[in-house]
Each structure stands twice: as C-alpha cells, then as structure tokens.
Amino acid sequence: MQRKGRPKEQDGGKGGCPMASTDPHVNFDAPAILCKWPSLNNERRAAVSGPYLLVDGTLDECIREFMAKPASIRHLYEIHTSPQPLLVSAILPEEIVAELARLRDFL
C-alpha cells in the first residue's frame, strides 16, 4: 500500500511523479536573447517601447555576456528565454542572472 503524498517511484517504481521533476535543473543550452534598455544618465528611458537585441544565442552565452558588463549598468539588461519550472522565468532580471552564473556548475 502506498502512503499518501509519497512519490510512487519510491514505492517500487509503480509510476507516479518522477523525482527529476522536482530537481533543480537549468538547461543552459536553451535559446535566449540578451536585451538592453535604451538609457540616459544610467537610467532606463521611459519614453521607449522596450529593450533592443544584443545577443541571440543560448542561455549560457547570454549569461556570460551579461556578467561581462560592469555591475553598475547591469540593471539596463535583461535575458529573455523559455521558462524552466522552479528556477527560470521568461525574463531574467539582474539578480537572477547573477545567481544562475554563480550556481551554473551545480545546476
């Protein structure tokens, strides 16, 4: 008999929720784009329609390009990618990109 709330795989592999679905994993080979907001005096310009494309590549390439920018202007950049449950949203802000770069070898 299976206990309530326990994945079936732990009860002899009878199906159910796969353990991997809750493991934090990021596909750094996923397509992504690095965008920059037009700015004036190191501030995003409110009168523009949105950011412009700088890099069209993988999530890993975009993170590397982002981290190569001076910390004082990173708030002007965003990475757009396909959402990956648990860790990656469609638009990655500065703080998340820095954290993914730091944890890249562990995810």
Prediction pTM value: 0.72
Distance CA 35, CA 62 (A): 9
| Cβ-Cβ contacts under 8 Å for 107 (sequence gap 6 or more) | 24, 25, 26, 28, 87, 100
Give every CB contact of residue 56 below 8 A, 6+ residues apart in sequence.
Answer: 33
Burial environment of residue 65 by CB neighbours within 10 A (0 to 12, 13 to 18, 19 or more)? middle
pLDDT tens digit sequence for 48-60: 888 999 999 999 9
pLDDT tens for 72-105 read: 999 999 999 999 887 788 999 888 899 999 988 7
